[in-house]
Amino acid sequence: MKKFTSVKDIDSLPDWVETAKKLKANPYAFKHLGENITLGLLFFNPSLRTRLSTQKAAINLGMNVMVMNLNSDGWSIELEDGTVMDQGTQEHIKEAAGVISQYCDIIGVRTFPRLKNRDEDYSEKILNKFIQNALVPVVSLESATLHPLQSLADVLTIEEQKKTPKPKVVLTWAPHPRALPQAVPNSFAEWMKVADVNLVIANPEGFDLAPEFTEGVTVLHKQDEALKDADFVYAKNWSSFEDYGKIGEGFNDWQITTDKMALTNQGKFMHCLPVRRNVIVADEVLDSDASLVLEQANNRTYAAQVVLYKMLQNG
């Protein structure tokens, strides 16, 4: 396995979920597997869960971990080939990725979109340049358009919590004061389409996700209609794909409240975190027994651990 960037990189989701459950039940069973193997985690953007859960997963497998904030602590990286580097950038991605590969056996990279140019973000330039120039496998720690470690943890959480064989899962847009990436919802849709669930997406008009992710999925522009009988409500804000990077204003009634949760089939509330309280979701919902957010965060460890375990097993 040379990379983990999308559900397309894995062979069998049921097998991965089973492996994650086994690792969760017995986290230190493969402590020998990572001996003398080094994971490097590179962050171009902030992180709390990804940084800690991926380190914890590596430690559970006996690996060594090095972490670096590339934006604040590294040289400014050039991505273009053939550039005369007499301007702001100081080190080319060819050397940077090659050098990091001398020290690390697996590299994780976090790189958010700029939300200015859609084609540039959706080309996954930074992540792909790392994959092309690294001499070792690369794990996405959230890229411009996908967040596979989060989605794998979400699949695991739903599998553990579901009360029916094929639950209704509603991914709903929710309000937010800043422009956020489409990575979490794109990725959630991508993984849910492979999982055994009935996925419905709810968002205001103008906020449909890219067609490649919504193909074959029911997309509703009325949240109340979508939430009816939902077993899981996954809230997330994203900026517009159509009017790229724009935020929605005047949609405060898309916040998840107890009244909204009452429309569901005693549904569970999910969010990837960090979450803006009383903007995305009301305190009463987030603080209720219906909230799975901490269990989702817990499962981030086992999502990361199954990825590292598979990479270590394949040598």
Binding site for ligand SN0 (CB under 6 A): 178, 180-181, 183-184, 272, 274, 276
The two counts, helices (H) then strands (E), for the chain are 13, 12
Least spacing, CB of residue 88 vs ligand SN0, in Å: 25
CB nearer ligand SN0, residue 134 or residue 171: 171
Residue with tokens 């990825």: 307
CA distance 107 to 130: 9
Closest CA to 151 of 190, 99, 108: 190
CB nearer ligand SN0, residue 168 or residue 176: 176
Least spacing, CB of residue 211 vs ligand SN0, in Å: 20
Residue with tokens 């005693």: 266
CA distance 115 to 119: 10
Residue with CB nearest ligand SN0? 180
φ/ψ of residue 254, rounded to 5 = -90, 0
CB nearer ligand SN0, residue 230 or residue 275: 275
CB nearer ligand SN0, residue 19 or residue 50: 50
CB nearer ligand SN0, residue 239 or residue 264: 239
CA distance 268 to 49: 21
What's the chain's Rg over C-alpha atoms? 20
CA distance 6 to 125: 15
CB nearer ligand SN0, residue 163 or residue 178: 178
Least spacing, CB of residue 18 vs ligand SN0, in Å: 25
**Which phi-psi region, left, alpha or beta, contains residue 98 (left: φ > 0; alpha: ψ -120 to 50)?**
alpha
DSSP β-ladder status, 91-92 and 77-78: parallel
CB nearer ligand SN0, residue 285 or residue 312: 285
CB nearer ligand SN0, residue 30 or residue 232: 232
Peptide bond connecting 137 to the previous residue in cis, omega within 30 degrees of 0: no
Host H or E run for residue 284: helix 283-286
φ/ψ of residue 161, rounded to 5 = -100, -15
Using DSSP, state whether 117 is helix, strand or coil. coil
DSSP state of 267: P
How is residue 191 written in tokens? 């993984």
Least spacing, CB of residue 22 vs ligand SN0, in Å: 26
